[in-house]
Amino acid sequence: MISVLILTLNEEVNIGDCLDSVGWTDDVLVLDSGSEDRTVEIAEAKGARVMHRPFDNFASQRNYGLQEGGLEHDWVLHLDADERVTPELRSELEREARRDARGAYRVPSKLMFQGRWLKHAGMYPTYQIRFGRRDALTFTQVGHGQRGALSAERVGTLDEPLLHYAFSKGIADWVERHNRYSTDEAVHALEAEGQSIDWSALFRGDAQARRRALKDLSYQLPFRPLLRFFYVYLWRMGVLDGRPGFDYAVLLSFYEYLIGLKRREQKRRGNTQDSDGA
């Protein structure tokens, strides 16, 4: 069997459907960060165990759940409340857990927006390490997200995707969250300035390593928000997703603009502090 660990904060809109999609397991832990709505009530009513921990970052939350959550099974699926597990993905998870060939697996996701799957603008398939052995997989925080702390040869890749309803609580919620995320990304971008690009990963690494190297390289490019729009809408053929594809490309461009603004703001503050201390 497989344990499921779900992170929540004010997810009454999502938690019920998320839990229904993993109703096949007998061990679900909801790690809540201080919800003030009905999230905890709904989770408990559906049979999930609930623990509480103030949020600091995604990696620490997931690691805390692994270490302190009393998870019952060797294999753990890590979810956010706005994600859903399909029957096809369940079958693949159970098959790989029985094979026990790797320490963890990357899981693709389908981004759902305005009632449809963004096949092109959502840059499918994008992967995150979300499924792994409890005694093998831990996470490290990078920018606003987390990465699995396992060597590449111990990580496999699944075929079946999660469904990701990132806009389930509306555009305003997405903008509010990405305002917070952009601060973390600006800090990461400043840190990346002093590091060399892993050119070998661009040409010989796996898909995830190439994506990380391209992201670090992109911080050095001018007109990054505009380039992000054209990359998503034209190069990745987001135009084929109709109006939702255009809207999503604009939102991503706005997100990149926020990162750039905050990056420059933090750099000015750092220069000012250096001058004051001189």
Residue range 207-265, pLDDT digits in tens: 556 666 666 666 666 788 999 999 999 999 999 999 999 999 999 999 999 999 998 89
Please tell me the pTM assigned to this model. 0.84
Structure tokens at 163: 């469904």
Indicate whether 203 pLDDT > 60.
Answer: no
Q: For residue 126, list its beta bridge partners.
A: 109
* Amino acid sitting at position 243: R
Indicate whether 192 pLDDT > 90.
Answer: no
Domain ranges across the chain: 2-164, 171-277
**CA-to-CA distance for 256 and 245, rounded, in angstroms?**
17
Q: What is 2-164's CATH topology?
A: Spore Coat Polysaccharide Biosynthesis Protein SpsA; Chain A (3.90.550)
Share in percent of the chain as helix, strand, coil (round to 5): 50, 20, 30
- Each residue of 25-41: pLDDT tens digit? 999 999 999 999 999 99
Neighbours of 200 (CB within 10 A): 10
DSSP 161: P
